[in-house]
Amino acid sequence: MPNLPKAPTLNDVAREAKVSAATVSRFLNNPAVVAEETAVRIRAAIELTGYIPNALAGDLASNKSRMVAVLIPHLEHSLFNDMIERMVGEMTASGNNVMIGLTGTSRDRTDSLVRAALSRRVDAIISTGPASDLVDSMVSRSRTLFIQVWELPADPIGVAIGFSHVDAGRDIARFLASRGYQRPHVVTADSPRAQNRREGFFTEWQALGHAPPSESIVDMPTRFGHARRVFADIRRMDKRPDVVVCGSDHLAQGLIVEAQGAGLRVPDDLGVIGFGNNTIAGEMRPTITSVDVDGARIAREVMAAIACHQEGRKFPSRKVDVGFRLIARESV
């Protein structure tokens, strides 16, 4: 560490501009309130000293942080990157900084990331994962808003912005039935949300009078690389499936590649349906039928909730159902 002269403080700027620290602080946080001649001197002083406010001190004194934590399982192979990218963009634009935490599938890691976020007194924690009782108790003693996204728990800790995965599974079943498919093969990741979709699918499929589907289980996150094994599973069956229900568009893409590599045509010989409506879904050949979740809408709702919370108003609803849309393309 180079031993630098210590960083200039508000007082240094105040001295330089021949005003009090309070006035500099006002200039920084609410410029309208200081006289223009004063402002000119302060601007010059800031320029001269190269002053960068110490947000730690500011946040401590004002008891707010303008900082938000985002907790996701992974960065690689994530279904959420598009939504997260939008949220981070909007937060930054609205003057919030974002702290990121990768939880994996570990509850302990989630707990400790929540604790770290609370320790920094973030205004909000946005989480895509399930919350433990410990998280619930830590959060509810704090001023931090807990926002669960991409799902709708029965009783959210703070606010939830998402959709029903059971309904999504159900709608996929209806759609495939309407297209005349007979033997779906379902690929499910070992995650609560994927299990919900599976349940919705299985229930509806059988309610429609079909035999239970075959299935493969894969580890989290659902990805391209799983396709090889899943396809091998399928080839080994005596009653071959006619469509594969995937937990992500990347897995769907992988299955298309495998199927084509084996000389099958998609969708003629085998249908494939993805999930999440990643941009590649519309770019793959054949294009991939998928379920779209409006990440931009979720991001906006999240921002609205945070803004409410930061301004001390309370968010109108504790649950926002943003729904989903099944997008029919070529692969089914």
Q: How many CB atoms lie within 10 A of CB 312?
A: 6
Environment class of 268 (CB within 10 Å of its CB; exposed 0-12, middle 13-18, buried 19+): exposed
Q: Is 116 in the site for DNA (CB under 7 A)?
A: no
Q: Are 284 and 253 in contact (CB under 8 A)?
A: yes
Dihedral, 261, 262, 263, 267 alpha carbons, nearest 10: -80
CA dist., res. 236 & res. 114, Å (int): 44
Among residues 55 and 237, whose Cβ is nearest to DNA?
55
Identify what 130 binds: DNA, a copy of itself, none; CB under 5 to 8 Å per kind: none
Strands 159-162 and 184-189: unpaired
Identify what 1 binds: DNA, a copy of itself, none; CB under 5 to 8 Å per kind: a copy of itself
**Token code pair at residue 312:** 């001390």
Among residues 138 and 176, whose Cβ is nearest to a copy of itself?
138
Q: Is 53 in the site for DNA (CB under 7 A)?
A: yes
Type of residue at 58: G
How many CA atoms lie less than 13 Å away from 282 in the CB half-sphere? 8
Among residues 95 and 209, whose Cβ is nearest to DNA?
95
Identify what 156 binds: DNA, a copy of itself, none; CB under 5 to 8 Å per kind: none
| Binding residue for DNA, selected from 1, 4, 61, 154, defined by CB under 7 A | 61
Report, in Å, the least distance between residue 58 CB and DNA. Answer: 3
243-245, strands of its sheet edge to edge: 214-218, 184-189, 243-245, 271-273
Q: Could you give phi then psi for residue 302, rounded to 5 degrees?
A: -60, -45
**Token code pair at residue 274:** 């993805």
Type of residue at 177: A
| Binding residue for DNA, selected from 40, 47, 62, 94, defined by CB under 7 A | 62
Handedness of CA 189, 194, 200, 201 (dihedral sign): negative
Q: Is 37 in the site for DNA (CB under 7 A)?
A: yes
Among residues 49 and 195, whose Cβ is nearest to DNA?
49
Give me the residues that bind a copy of itself (CB under 8 A), please. 1, 4, 7, 50, 52-57, 59-60, 65, 67, 70, 74-76, 81-82, 84-85, 88-89, 92, 97-102, 109, 113, 115-116, 118-121, 137-138, 141-143, 145, 223-225, 227-228, 254, 257-258, 260-261, 279-280, 283-285, 309, 312, 314
Report, in Å, the least distance between residue 135 CB and DNA. Answer: 19
Q: Of 42, 220, 67, which is closest to residue 129 (Cα–Cα)? A: 220
Identify what 10 binds: DNA, a copy of itself, none; CB under 5 to 8 Å per kind: DNA
Q: Of 128, 133, 99, 132, which is closest to residue 116 (Cα–Cα)? A: 99
Q: Are 122 and 309 in contact (CB under 8 A)?
A: no
Report, in Å, the least distance between residue 313 CB and a copy of itself. Answer: 8
Region near DNA per CB under 7 A, out of 2-10, 131-139, 171-179, 225-233:
2-10
Among residues 38 and 216, whose Cβ is nearest to DNA?
38
Q: Of 99, 179, 180, which is closest to residue 144 (Cα–Cα)? A: 99
Among residues 82 and 233, whose Cβ is nearest to a copy of itself?
82
Among residues 176 and 187, whose Cβ is nearest to a copy of itself?
187
Q: Using the 8-state DSSP alphabet, how is residue 210 labeled? A: P
Q: Is 34 in the site for DNA (CB under 7 A)?
A: yes
CA dist., res. 292 & res. 83, Å (int): 12
Report, in Å, the least distance between residue 52 CB and a copy of itself. Answer: 5
Task: Give residues in contact with DNA (CB under 7 A).
Answer: 6-7, 9-11, 18-23, 25-26, 28-29, 32-35, 37-38, 51, 53-54, 57-58, 60-63
